[in-house]
Amino acid sequence: MDHPGGARRPPARSSAGAGQRRVRADAGRGGATEDGALTVRDDDGDALDRALRFLRSRAAGDYPVDEFGFDVELTETVLLPALRPLYDRWFRVSAHGVGNLPAEGGALLVANHSGVLPLDALMTAVAVHDEHPAHRHLRMLGAELVFRTPVLASFARRSGNTLACHPDAERLLRAGELVGVWPEGYKGVGKPFSARYRLQRFGRGGFVSAALRTGVPIVPCAIVGAEEIYPKIADIRPLARLLGLPYFPVTPFFPLLGPLGTVPLPTKWHIEFGEPLSTADRDPAAADDQMLVLDLTDRIREDIQQMLYRRLSRRRGLFSG
């Protein structure tokens, strides 16, 4: 959903925590009324209580994780709050079509990938959790590089992500989780600025097979704004091979400006969730029909490409619209 232009008290929700998360986002964008200021102060006090409870549970080692290592408390208390300033104030993300995300049950979200660093995936996870009334967590499928990188691997697991492989994807979908996949992979996130908003190949359609086997809907997602945060104009491939990276980007600011060049440009983002494609009426055995899988893969890819074109045609500027 799009954020309102001015501040107002959000509608009441059954969960106080859910309402407070929305107030924080609205207050950051829309100014302040007397009621809004009071609500934010209440939220700050509640945030302190949550932080103290979080520290006590960490100290006691008394916190649950699921079979993939997902730590809900850590994600909601530390990781999501750390990402919200980027979402709300730096990229000023507007989410559209949030009602196309199911309130419960398994579903596969498929999105375009770009931006040199995968900030688009992180911002999509914030959008799913903060904008949808059910405040669902997006369980993202990541590349092997993520899970062999020290520290990053631990945070990825703790925030509910797992390796992009068929068994893990299908287990999550059967468990009723909302799973996110970026089929372009490195080809998408590392493509040159000259190829922006032109989707790369979606591979062999492994994500479609997973959806067919589990009977969950596929939700296309188009992200506009991420392509321009690090305009990639060259790739130093020998250095990338030396460091074990898929690419080593050169932008107008990096590596020329050193660490300052790693600050992303504050483009205005739009994340749109499209109409789901149902797979419930298909036999799970259809997942072994490669022609059908490739046909559905191309259909999803074309849906996302057209969503990008429509959203780009409405954009007024890189930083304002």
Sequence ranges of the domains in the chain: 16-63, 84-229+264-314
CATH 3.40.1390.10 fits 84-229+264-314, yes or no: no
Residue 44 confidence (pLDDT) = 62
| pLDDT tens digits, 129-157 | 999 999 999 999 999 999 999 999 999 99
Please give the average pLDDT of every successive group of 10 residues along the chain, which has 321 residues: 40 37 38 37 65 76 85 93 97 97 97 96 98 96 92 93 94 97 95 95 91 97 98 96 95 95 97 96 92 95 98 93 75
Residue 8 confidence (pLDDT) = 36
Do 55 and 36 meet the contact criterion of CB atoms below 8 Å apart?
Answer: no
Residue 51 confidence (pLDDT) = 74
Residue 63 confidence (pLDDT) = 76
**CA torsion, ordered 291, 297, 303, 306, to nearest 10 deg:** -100
Separation CA 117–CA 107 (nearest Å): 25
Q: Residue 117, class by beta-carbon neighbours within 10 Å (0-12 exposed, 13-18 middle, 19+ buried)?
A: middle
Residue 97 confidence (pLDDT) = 97
Do 159 and 75 meet the contact criterion of CB atoms below 8 Å apart?
Answer: yes
